[in-house]
């Protein structure tokens, strides 16, 4: 069972719902929430410096801003300017996999076509530890993917709520 879940979601209402449902489903788990691509980049650097530990699983929205409004925002990288917010989750996944040597499972949520998105990421390191779901799917699909990616298989002992 994942004990440390990282949630990348910029929509406050969706983030609150995901956090509540994940904490209920994975009782005792810590759910850390980040709402921008830049926050994930900073987190990766903390892991690399030994100031943070990798999560057991990452649940990420694909479309996110580079940074949430801040007085002194970091400069926007060229890759972000070129592909915009619609590729943020994919860039986060790629950066994480390039710099973190622990095979952390990822579940990407998207409004885009999941099959097309999978084509973009299927050749990444540890792609087998990645799932792509449509945001319109019930949350029980998310739980099933987390269980499968974390080696827990089919779970029937906890109530799964949508």
Nearest to 3 by CA among 34, 43, 30: 30
Confirm whether 12 is domain-assigned.
yes
Confirm whether 120 is domain-assigned.
yes
| pLDDT tens for each residue of 35-93 | 999 999 999 999 999 999 999 999 999 988 887 777 787 787 787 777 766 788 888 99
Confirm whether 154 is domain-assigned.
no
Nearest-5° angle of CA 125, CA 85, CA 92?
Answer: 25
Confirm whether 91 is domain-assigned.
yes
Measured from the Cβ of residue 134, the count of other Cβ atoms closer than 10 Å reads 14
What stretch of H or E contains 4? strand 4-8
Q: 110: exposed, middle or buried (C-beta count within 10 Å: 0-12, 13-18, 19+)?
A: buried
Strand, helix or coil for residue 92: helix
Q: Total structural domains in the chain?
A: 1
pTM of the model: 0.85
The CATH number for 38's domain is 3.40.50.2300
Confirm whether 156 is domain-assigned.
no
Which range marks the domain in which residue 63 is found? Answer: 4-149
Confirm whether 158 is domain-assigned.
no
Confirm whether 157 is domain-assigned.
no
23 with 31: CB under 8 angstroms? yes
Give pairs for 43-46: CB < 8 Å, separation 24+: 43/6, 44/95, 44/96, 44/99, 44/100
Confirm whether 160 is domain-assigned.
no
Q: Is the pLDDT of residue 34 over 70?
A: yes
Q: Is the pLDDT of residue 160 over 60?
A: no
């Amino acid at each position: 069972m994942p004990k440390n879940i990282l949630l990348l979601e910029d929509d406050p209402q969706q983030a609150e719902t995901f956090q509540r449902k994940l904490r209920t489903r994975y009782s005792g788990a810590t759910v850390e929430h980040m709402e921008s691509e830049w926050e994930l980049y900073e987190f990766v650097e903390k892991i690399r410096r030994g100031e943070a530990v990798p999560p057991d699983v990452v649940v990420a929205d694909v479309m996110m801003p580079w940074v949430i409004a801040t007085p002194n925002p970091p400069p926007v990288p060229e890759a972000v300017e070129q592909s915009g917010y619609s590729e943020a989750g994919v860039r986060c996944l790629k950066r994480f996999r390039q710099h973190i040597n622990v095979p952390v499972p990822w579940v990407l949520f998207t409004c885009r076509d999941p099959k097309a998105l999978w084509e973009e990421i299927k050749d990444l390191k540890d792609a087998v530890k990645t799932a792509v779901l449509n945001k319109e799917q019930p949350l029980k699909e998310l739980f099933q993917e987390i269980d499968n990616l974390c080696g827990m298989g089919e779970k029937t002992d906890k109530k799964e709520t949508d």
